[in-house]
Amino acid sequence: MTRKLTRLQTLFTGGAFALAAVLGAPAPALAADTTPTTDQAAAVVEQITAQTGPQTAAPSAEELHPLPITAEQKTFTPTKEQLENAKAIVDTAKEMGLPPRAWTIAVATSLQETNLRNLGHLGDRNDHDSQGLFQQRPSSGWGTVEQITDPHYATKAFFDGTSTNRGLLDINGWQDMPLTQAAQKVQVSAYPNHYAKHEKQAGDIINALHGTGPHADLATDLRY
């Protein structure tokens, strides 16, 4: 029996078979016929989706940067380590149900504090007892060394604060502030305006984790 497939059906089923081949999805019902029905192709797509999960859409530019970026920006090509640390930050923020603006502020803050590196104690070069992605200090009540060098804990503390430190979510109106003001209210840095220069880079890194932007090809195995 000859099946008549529309052009749309042909494209759809061809894509399904290609994905099945790449991902190794078994498709015994399709293997016996080179012109599968739409129902058969849909079954493969459903199986692939179940194995890989739906891709999360990238946040919009307005969600990441609701206010104009006016400071001179520092940009660079991120390393795998930096992308992995950024993903740990965004993962935690997503688990907490926080919006993309919070992700941007947190990633930009870590870019300023450690260039998105999870630093341990640097000996004579260390700033007091600051450590981790956000340079939090055990002596100031941010947590133990083990805690503040855990990216998940450190990020949650940045957002929630501790019994002796305010977090971003404790700052009234943080969503409507320039990024550097919001970050400074948590970090209390000697350089309060330096967070501003990392906003675009933070957005580009977040976009890369969602498969878009100038660094997308560097984060293919980290994508949402």
Q: In this structure, are 88 and 158 located in the same domain? A: yes
pLDDT in tens, 39-96: 655 565 455 444 444 567 999 999 999 999 999 999 999 999 999 999 999 999 999 9
Note the pLDDT of residue 6: 38
The residue range of the domain holding 11 is: 7-52
Q: In this structure, are 25 and 106 located in the same domain? A: no
Q: In this structure, are 90 and 18 located in the same domain? A: no
Q: In this structure, are 166 and 101 located in the same domain? A: yes
Note the pLDDT of residue 56: 79
Q: Which regions in the chain score pLDDT beneath 50?
A: 1-25, 27-33, 45, 48-53
CA separation for the pair 44, 13 (Å, rounded):
9
Note the pLDDT of residue 42: 56
Note the pLDDT of residue 50: 47
What is the pTM (predicted TM-score) of this model?
A: 0.76
Q: In this structure, are 124 and 22 located in the same domain? A: no
